[in-house]
Structure 1
Amino acid sequence: MTEQASRITATCGTCAAECDGWLVQLIRDRRLHWERESSCASCGTTVCDGDRGAAPADVRAALLADHGEYRLTAEGTGPRSGAVPKAFRDAFEVSLAEAGSAANAARGAGWCGTRVEVVLVQRLLDGAGVAASVIEVREPQRRTR
């Protein structure tokens, strides 16, 4: 399983104490998933949520800050060109227009995202017979604790 996690500090919704937790993005069953968990040592409240698909902006921003940004470039021209937008639709459950925009970026200068996101799209493209490469383009902005 491919995953990335970022440690967080949050405010408890029950007692307002400081809580520790994790933000996670992972690939499960060839699908993108995200999870958020925090636990309060003061009152014992635990909060867990998550879903399949693209991560909320705060989860994604923390992962990018802690782990850096990656760029995927895809060949995706010729008879298999439809596989590129399909990979983005399958990975992120986005509209045709959004998938087309991401595919155009991937075929051009590259599409940027978290390591988990680009690895998933690369795997989906590989399964469709489309060559794609992934490189790190921005190093982490903060250290993972």
Structure 2
Amino acid sequence: MADGGGAMDRDVFESIRYLAACQDCGAELECTGVQALVGGRLRWDVESTCSVCGFALAVCGGDLPSDRREQLLTEHGAATLQILDPSGKSVTIMRVLRAELGIDLPGAKAVLHRLLNGSYSGTRAEMELLARKLRASSIDAAAVRP
């Protein structure tokens, strides 16, 4: 499945809309947020323009807030990370998980168990990033939606 940078390595985007208060006048404004996997990195971008006072805001490259992550999961559904042939590769998988998720060995074992039983999920961009890291370590992995 590792293809050396072809179709599997395209940028991944998912967006949501939500309401917030204008920082200038306090009116309600519609914001558009996008979680993206671009160039091997996750990013969270938000833009909005107030229809009352014209205040415009663009914040790029930030961390995805937990409430917006939940909204992405609700609106788009969770993606699941699948290991297509895990036989004999647990150590390599756990090494990638530890490096990418910043977790200890017991945490990596717990995530590995969830991966193998098909219950490890997240946003599409999060799962695709992990799948790419695993593929770079010769693990046949894919981010899928049911």
Give the shorter-chain TM-score range.
Answer: 0.7 to 0.9
Amino acid at match of 1:68: G
Amino acid at match of 1:11: A
Matched, 1:37 2:47: yes
Secondary structure, counterpart of 1:13 in structure 2: coil
Secondary structure, counterpart of 1:3 in structure 2: strand
In the TM superposition, what are the counterparts of 1:70-85 in structure 2 within 5 Å? Answer: 70-74=79-83, 75-78=85-88, 80-85=89-94
Q: What displacement does 1:89 show?
A: 5.0
Q: Deviations over 1:17-46 (max 9, x none)?
A: 121221111112212111222221212222
Q: 1:97 to 1:123 in 2, by over 3 A?
A: same
Matched, 1:136 2:127: no
The aligned counterpart of 1:21 is: 31
Number of aligned positions between the proteins = 134
Secondary structure, counterpart of 1:14 in structure 2: coil
Q: 1:86 to 1:41 in 2, by over 3 A?
A: farther
Matched, 1:106 2:84: no
Q: 1:90 to 1:32 in 2, by over 3 A?
A: farther
The aligned counterpart of 2:104 is: 96
Amino acid at match of 1:7: R
Amino acid at match of 1:84: I
The aligned counterpart of 1:143 is: none
- Segments of 5+ residues of structure 1 without an aligned counterpart are 138-145
In the TM superposition, what are the counterparts of 1:47-66 in structure 2 within 5 Å? Answer: 47-51=57-61, 55-66=64-75
- 1:68 aligns with one of 74, 77, 84: 77
Q: 1:119 to 1:49 in 2, by over 3 A?
A: same
Give every structure 1 segment of 4 or more consecutive aligned residues whose post-TM-superposition deviation is greater than 6 Å. none
